[in-house]
Homo-oligomer: A and B are copies of this chain.
Amino acid sequence: MKRVYNFNAGPSAMPLEVLKQVQEEFLDFAHTGMSIVEISHRSAAYQAMQDDTVCMLRRLLRIPDGYHIVFIQGGGSMQFIMHAANFLKHRGAYINTGVWSDKAMQAAAFYGETYEAASSKADHFTYIPEAGSAVIKPDTDYVYITSNNTIHGTEWHDFPSCNVPLFCDMSSDFLSRPVDISRFDLVYAGVQKNVGPAGVVVTIIKDSLLVQANSQLPLMLQYKTYVDHDSTYNTPPVFNIYFVNKVLHWLDAQGGLKEIEKRNIQKAHILYQVIDESDGFYKGHAVPQSRSRMNVTFNLPTPALEAEFVAQAAEASLIGLKGHRSIGGCRASIYNAVTEEGCQALAAFMMKFQKNH
């Protein structure tokens, strides 16, 4: 069996131990005599698994009372609609740090007034605006941020404090570090980076926000439907949630979010060090204080060299290093499941490539 070093931006590397476990029990889930893809979502076996998933999320993230956790289909793009459909009444503020916050703002505009409270667009999204620089207009329903920006390789390291509800798309750094959930009113994360197979979003919603939701919406667009029916108003994506459950147990066994954060800092350091010590051969896209620990974005001296870099890396089983089509360049996504060994292999390749060019 061949396995490569997977630096895909998402869907992306999953822990090998989890893959093996899922594989092993694929024909017989929890001694039911059925595959996980064959069990009823109304069965005790399913419910126990879903309950455990919620419980593990609460435990790993230390989610306080007063929040519900639900599973929703449609990816982040459906959340771009739902957050606004449910909560945009007067105006929504967006801190624009790249493509994803921009898309969220555009989608939200269908439901009401939106505005940029801060933005790093003029500087090609190379940094996260200072938390205090956001200008919040009166009657703002919420401030919306994207905690990590896969395309530009920036990440919030210190979340803003607002006196309006704070919403956060955590899709690309969810469970990569401890986060104080009590600072947020709505958090959501498509699982396909750090947590599982594409097809489910984890949404964490504060009860005091939920009661203010717009109820003049189709049921499937209301967060309340998912909360009231414990994510099983209709058939949930059983396999996807099950896989998330396995990843949560894996995370716990690794030592939880503090330990995983430590590893992620170390992994990112390995790659940023190569960039910083390359005398400008590798040029990081993000300014150092806004650098993402999940997506390391960089350029080489020319697009031709970048293409050669990506191709030669692939030959060396280092996969997925091409930058997003919207900004080009190179990107190494080093989510939880990417090992330090993988980062060292890439660092060694980068140094060798530089030497040869």
Contacts and interface: CB of A to CB of B under 8 A. Distances in A.
Interface string A86-100: 000000000000000
Interface in A197-250: 197-200, 217-221, 233-240, 243
Interface string A20-53: 1011001110011111011111010000000000
Contacts of A251: none
Contact of A26 (B19, B39, B238): B19
Number of copies: 2
Interface stretch (A70-78, A253-261, A289-297): A70-78
B75 A37 contact: no
B37 A197 contact: yes
Contacts of A220: 74, 77-78, 80-81, 107
25 contacts: A6-B34, A8-B38, A10-B40, A11-B38, A11-B41, A11-B235, A16-B27, A19-B37, A20-B27, A23-B23, A34-B319, A40-B320, A73-B73, A73-B78, A73-B199, A74-B74, A74-B78, A81-B220, A107-B220, A110-B218, A197-B238, A197-B239, A198-B238, A239-B240, A240-B240
Interface of A: 1-4, 6, 8-14, 16, 19-20, 22-23, 26-28, 31-35, 37-41, 43, 73-78, 80-81, 85, 107, 110, 190, 192, 196-200, 217-221, 233-240, 243, 317, 319-320
